[in-house]
Structure 1
C-alpha cells in the first residue's frame, strides 16, 4: 500500500512538472493573451461613456417644521395633533410612489433623450430609467434616512435631477398635508355651525315658551285685577316663575305686559343664548384657518447635493485587473488545450 501511494504521489508530481514546463515553454503565448486581455479592458475602460452619481439624503422634519400643521389642533378642538412620524410617512410614501416615478420619467427623463433614443419602446426606456434613478430605503431598522441616487453621463444633470425629485416629492406630500388640514378644519367649522344653529333654535323656542307662560300669567292677573305685585313677602324666585310658574301672575299685569312686549320686540336671541359667543369664536377660527406652504416642511435634506467630479463607472482600475486576469487564464487554457490536442493526435 505504501509503495502504491508513493507511486501515485510521484506520478502527480511528474504531471504537475509537465504542466508547468508546458506553460513555461509557451510563455510568450500566455503573455500575448494577457496583453490582449489588458488591451481590451483598457479600450473599454477609457472609451466607455463615464457615469456620474449624485446623491441626496432626506430625514424627518423637526417639530418646528410641522408646528403650523397643528395650529388649533388640541384636545378641546377634538383634533389630534400630527406627529413628526405622521408627516414623514406621507413624504416617504410619495418618495417611493410609482406615480411620481412615472411623472418624472415622462416630464424630465424622456425629453432629455435624443430623438433616436426616444424611438425605443417605452418599456425599454423605463427599464433604463429605473437604473438611472433609485430611491434607497434606510439600511438599518433604527434609521429613518432615505437616499435618492441618480446615475447619468452628465454630472450637472445628475445633481439637478436628484434635487428636483426630492423637491417634487416634498411638494406633493405638503399639498396632501395642507389639504388634510383644510378638510378637517372645514368639517369642524360645519359641526360648529350646526351647533350654533341648534343653540339659536333652542334659544328661540325658549323665548316663545317664556311668552306663552307670561301671556297665561297675564290673563290670570287681569282676571283678578292685579295690576301691581302685592305688598306681601313672597320669594322673588317664586314670583319670577318658580314652582312651574304657578305664581308668575303675582308680578302684576303691568310688569307682565312690559316683559311680553319686550320679548316680542326682541330682534335677536343671540345675546341671551348660552355659550353662543364661544361657539362663534371657534367657528370663525376654523373657517378662516389657512396653512401657508412656506411655513411648513415635510422633510429635511441632510446636507447639500454635491456636483460629482469623478465618474463611478467605469471603474478603470478594476476593469484593467480583471482584463489581465482574464487574459492570463485564457492564455493558460489555450496552452493546455493545444497540448492536450497534440497528445491525442500522437
Structure 2
C-alpha cells in the first residue's frame, strides 16, 4: 500500500506539528471546498432569510399645564411623572396588549395560523415583538424620565402602524381608566356628602321634634297650672261669697233687732228723740270700722239677695280674667305652627354650608377627559430604512470563518488518521523485515 504522505515511524500516540502542517497543506483543497460551501450556504441564508425590521417610539412626561385641570379638581392628583408611569404600566400590561390584538386583527393576519386560537397567535406576537425600556434610576446622567418602546417584526407586517396604534390604544385605555376612577371618586364623595346631609337632616328632624315636644309639654303644663289656679280661685271666691252671706245674715238679724232699716251711724243711733231737722247734715269722723249692721236691713237684704242670685264669681277676681287670657293664648302655639309649616327645611340645617359648596363643586366638574394629555409622544415610530436582520456581511464572514474552522478540523482529522495508518503499516513492515532477518540468521 502506498500513500502520498510518507512519514518516518513515530511512537504510537505521538504526532509532530510538522506532520500536521504537512497534512493541512496536502488537504488544502478540502479546506477550500468546505470554506466555499459554507460561504455559499451563508450567502443563501443571508439573501433568502426573511428580513426583520425594528421601529422605536419614545414617550416623555407631559407638561404640568396639560394635567392642571385634573389636579385642580382636588379629586384626582396625577403628577406628570406618575402619568408616564401609568402609561408605562398600561403598555406593559398583558391584558391591554391582548385587547389591542383583538381589536386590530387586520394588522396581525401574518400571525394567524390554521388551527390556532387567537390567544396562541397573540403569544407568538407578544413573546419577543415589543420590548419596553425605562431609564435606570441608579444612573444620574439621565436628563428626564422616558419610556422607549421597540418592536421587531418580519417583512410583510406593518410594524409602524402596530406600534403607533398600540401606543395610542394604551394611552386611551389609561385615559378611560382615569376617567372611570374620577367618576367613581366623585360619585363616592357625593354619596358621602349626601350621607352627611342626611345625617344633618335627621339631626335637625330630631331636634325639631324634640323642640316641638318640649313646647307642647310646656303648654300642657302651663295650661294645667292655670286651670288648677282658676279652679282654686273660683273655690276661694265661692268661699268668700259664702262667708259674706253668713256675715250678712248676722248683720241683718242685728239690724232688725236694733230697728235699723236704713243706713245709720253710731251718733244717729244714740239720738232717742228722733226729732231731727231735715236741714241739718251730720258728719261723723271715726277711725273705727263701722259694723256692717249699720247699713240697715234694707241694704243688707238687697246685698244678700244679689249674692244669692249670683251665678259666677269670676268677675270679682282680676286674676281670673288674666288666667282666661293666658288659657286663650295657649289654645295655639305659633312657634309649633311655624316649625310644622316650614317648606324648605334644608335652609335651617346647621354647619352644612361647606358640604353644600363641595357638593355643588363636584356636580359642576366638567373635565374633558378626551383632551387629557397624559404623556408626550416624543418620537413616533417611522418606517425603517433598512432591516436589522439578517446582517448579510456578518453572516458571510461568520460562514467563511466557520467554514474555515470546519475545513481545518476535517483536514486535521484526515491527516491524523492517515499518519496513524501509515505508521501502523511501517511498523508492520519493520516487524516483518525483523522476522526475516532473524530467520536468516538461524539458518546460517
TM-score (norm 1): 0.73
CA 299–36 in structure 1, closer or farther in 2 if over 3 Å, else same: same
Whether the 8 Å CA contact 1:65–1:295 is kept in 2: the answer is: no
Among 119, 130, 151, which residue is 2:114 paired with? 119
* Aligned residue in 1 for 2:344: 268
Which SS does the other structure have where 2:362 is aligned? helix
1:308 aligns with 2:308: no
CA 201–295 in structure 1, closer or farther in 2 if over 3 Å, else same: same
Matches of 1:269 and 1:158 in 2, distance apart? 65
Matches of 1:186 and 1:108 in 2, distance apart? 34
Matches of 2:86 and 2:343 in 1, distance apart? 50
Among 392, 398, 418, which residue is 1:322 paired with? 398
1:90 aligns with 2:86: yes
* Aligned residue in 2 for 1:282: 358
Whether the 8 Å CA contact 2:76–2:182 is kept in 1: the answer is: no
* Aligned residue in 2 for 1:51: 52
Task: String of CA shifts for 1:101-156, please: whole Å, max 9, x gaps.
Answer: 333444446863359x5126458744531355222232523475333222223487
Among 128, 133, 141, which residue is 2:129 paired with? 133
Q: CA deviation at 1:188?
A: 0.6
Matches of 1:126 and 1:209 in 2, distance apart? 69
Matches of 2:417 and 2:120 in 1, distance apart? 46
CA 318–339 in structure 1, closer or farther in 2 if over 3 Å, else same: same
Whether the 8 Å CA contact 1:186–1:287 is kept in 2: the answer is: no
Structure 2: segments with no counterpart, 5+ residues:
1-14, 228-325, 423-444
Which SS does the other structure have where 1:91 is aligned? helix
RMSD over aligned Cα atoms: 3.4
Whether the 8 Å CA contact 2:56–2:380 is kept in 1: the answer is: no
* Count of residues in correspondence between the two structures: 300
Which SS does the other structure have where 2:180 is aligned? helix
Which SS does the other structure have where 2:54 is aligned? strand
CA 266–109 in structure 1, closer or farther in 2 if over 3 Å, else same: closer
Matches of 2:157 and 2:114 in 1, distance apart? 25
| 1:19-30 alignment runs, 5 A limit | 19-30=20-31
CA 30–323 in structure 1, closer or farther in 2 if over 3 Å, else same: same
TM-score (norm 2): 0.58
Matches of 2:193 and 2:171 in 1, distance apart? 33
CA 212–126 in structure 1, closer or farther in 2 if over 3 Å, else same: closer
Q: CA deviation at 1:325?
A: 0.3
Whether the 8 Å CA contact 1:134–1:150 is kept in 2: the answer is: yes
Whether the 8 Å CA contact 1:52–1:155 is kept in 2: the answer is: no
Which SS does the other structure have where 1:307 is aligned? coil
CA 273–131 in structure 1, closer or farther in 2 if over 3 Å, else same: closer
* Aligned residue in 2 for 1:72: 73
Matches of 1:109 and 1:148 in 2, distance apart? 21
CA 48–278 in structure 1, closer or farther in 2 if over 3 Å, else same: same
Give the structure with higher Rg (CA): 2
Among 387, 405, 408, which residue is 1:332 paired with? 408
1:343 aligns with 2:419: yes
Whether the 8 Å CA contact 2:20–2:416 is kept in 1: the answer is: no
Whether the 8 Å CA contact 2:23–2:411 is kept in 1: the answer is: yes
Task: String of CA shifts for 1:225-270, please: whole Å, max 9, x gaps.
Answer: xxxxxxxxxxxxxxxxxxxxxxxxx9x959x955444334322223
Larger mean Cα displacement after TM superposition, 284-293 or 79-88 = 79-88
Matches of 1:276 and 1:217 in 2, distance apart? 30
CA 169–111 in structure 1, closer or farther in 2 if over 3 Å, else same: closer
Matches of 1:312 and 1:223 in 2, distance apart? 108
Matches of 2:392 and 2:171 in 1, distance apart? 37
| 1:1-346 alignment runs, 5 A limit | 15-73=16-74, 81-108=77-104, 112-113=108-109, 118-119=113-114, 121-122=116-117, 125-138=121-134, 140-142=136-138, 144-154=145-155, 157-215=158-216, 220=222, 223=226, 258-346=334-422
Matches of 1:211 and 1:147 in 2, distance apart? 71
CA 107–269 in structure 1, closer or farther in 2 if over 3 Å, else same: closer
Task: String of CA shifts for 1:159-182, please: whole Å, max 9, x gaps.
Answer: 111111112221222222111111
Whether the 8 Å CA contact 2:107–2:162 is kept in 1: the answer is: no
Q: CA deviation at 1:190?
A: 0.8
